[in-house]
Structure 1
Amino acid sequence: MRVTKLASNCENGDCPTLYLTDRGTVLVQGETPADHGLTLPAHETVVEIPAELLRKVLRDQRI
């Protein structure tokens, strides 16, 4: 899989980031919250990212 960085909150790679794959999907790097109260299948997870990160991607029209 080839991955291209779309947007991040920093440059060191240790913060919320969105990536576009060559499969036409988006990978999300963020915090794993423990207090979400959701019931998820064992093969899925949720991550938390700032809403501003999504706004940045949309503003820059990178997808």
Structure 2
Amino acid sequence: MRMRFLGSTSEAGACPTLYETDRGTIVVQGLTVTDREALADLRDVLDGESAVEVPRELLVDIARRVL
């Protein structure tokens, strides 16, 4: 799989960052959610999965540029 940088709201390309893959998917780089209450709200988390928090403005900005 290859990834192409889409954008970030952080300085120097740090987290959170979004990438587009050559498989037509999006990869999120960010800090893992560790708050127990927040994690309890997740559904059907499979082994190997985790939750990453992303600012809404990053998703809106990328959606406007990509879509």
Task: Please report the TM-score for the alignment, with normalisation by the length of structure 2.
Answer: 0.77
* Identity rate, percent: 48
**In structure 1, what is the Cα distance between the partners aligned to 2:50 and 2:18?**
16
Gapped runs of 5+ residues in structure 2? none
Q: Deviation per CA, 1:4-56, whole angstroms, max 9, x where unpaired?
A: 01111135222211100001110001111111223622221110010000011
Gapped runs of 5+ residues in structure 1? none
Task: Please report the TM-score for the alignment, with normalisation by the length of structure 1.
Answer: 0.81
Which has the higher relative contact order, 1 or 2, with Cα contacts under 8 A spaced 6 or more apart? Answer: 1
Paired residues, what number?
Answer: 62
**In structure 2, what is the Cα distance between the partners aligned to 1:8 and 1:50?**
10
Higher helix share: 2
